[in-house]
Amino acid sequence: MREFDEQSITQAVTATLAECDDPRFTRIMTSLVSHLHDFVREVRLTESEWFTAIQFLTDVGRTCTDRRQEFILLSDTLGVSILVITLNHPAQDGSAESTVQGPFYWEGAPELPRGSNLAEGVKGEPAFYSGRVLGTDGTPLAGALLDIWSGDGEGNYDMQIPGEARMKARGRIRTDEGGRYWFRSIRPTFYPVPTDGPVGRMLRKMGRHPYRPGHIHMIVSAPGHLPVTTHLFVAGSKYLDSDAVFGMKESLVAQFERHPPGTGPDGARLETPFYTVSYDFRLKPAAAS
């Protein structure tokens, strides 16, 4: 018979991994159990607090659907997502920095011709995006793919709009032989992460606001290079200094230049003001990883 006190329980649990044949898993679980036990001891967790935590995690799971990922939101708002990204994608070589993917990626956006308007019928101020995808040595990367998504001009993603079954403000654009890309969408605005679920309750309890600065998402990839999951942030947007998911990187802040109504870069007449923004993404060769 073995019984454990508040210290010996930790070693008793980690010792159960002795037969595990996966060294990496053993290391992760040993550390996880040790830190978790230390945390419980440190705060002297009560039974009702423990049950509240169980209920919270249960709610987070129940809130997830094929359109909503509350666990990613929890990870994002606790800074875990950006910590994992920072450890795995250290900024170096002038390559484009990574940031959070967030909970609104929808796989399978259509590949569209360069110059397409990704945000046809979407509320928001028109914005024309252009730039190049390059290697870290400056070589233009032909055939690089930008998988792009954003909310509308009011900060709502298609997935969040009840009854909206179609993709909006999403698309994939490939670079030309000179590594150039261009497309039209909207200038994204700041928006709150979803606050109607358990993570929203957590943020309110913590005394935090739920806002993210305006940004457009992209996964940029090219043959023989490491893909990067990133954003372009709108310079001057509210909440650049207090992103609720800690994803802001200065190198990803882009100037959106405002133009009066007139002829846009695509030659079409616009009756409203519009914006232009230019940004080059540099990708690391896969072999350099």
Q: Quick one: tokens of 72?
A: 């990613």
Inter-residue contact 144 to 109 (CB < 8 Å)? no
How many residues comprise the chain? 289
Q: Which stretch binds Fe ion (CB under 5 A): 94-102, 195-203, 241-249, 268-276?
A: 94-102
Q: Side-chain half-sphere of 34: how many Cα atoms within 13 Å?
A: 10
Q: Among residues 102 and 171, whose Cβ is nearest to Fe ion? A: 102
Nearer to Fe ion, 153 or 179 (CB): 153
Nearer residue to Fe ion within complex by CB, 173 or 244: 244
In whole angstroms, how close is the CB of 66 to Fe ion at the nearest point?
18
Rounded least distance, CB 94 to Fe ion, Å: 25
What is the rounded distance in angstroms from the CA atom of residue 210 to the CA atom of residue 238?
A: 12
Q: Taking the complex as a whole, how short is the minimal distance between the CB of residue 102 and Fe ion, in angstroms?
A: 5
Local structure of residue 210 (DSSP, 8 states): -
CB 46 within 8 A of CB 54: no
Site size with Fe ion, rule: CB under 5 A = 1
- Which residue number places its CB atom closest to Fe ion? 102
Pick between residue 102 and residue 126 the one whose CB is nearest to Fe ion. Answer: 102
Q: Which stretch binds Fe ion (CB under 5 A): 68-76, 95-103, 253-261, 279-287?
A: 95-103
Please identify, using beta-carbon distances, which residue of 134 and 232 lies nearer to Fe ion. 232
Q: Where in 101-130 is the site for Fe ion (CB under 5 A)?
A: 102
As a dihedral over the C-alpha atoms of residue 238, residue 239, residue 245, residue 249, rounded to 10 degrees, the angle is: 90
How far is residue 272's CA from residue 196's CA, in Å, rounded to a whole number? 34
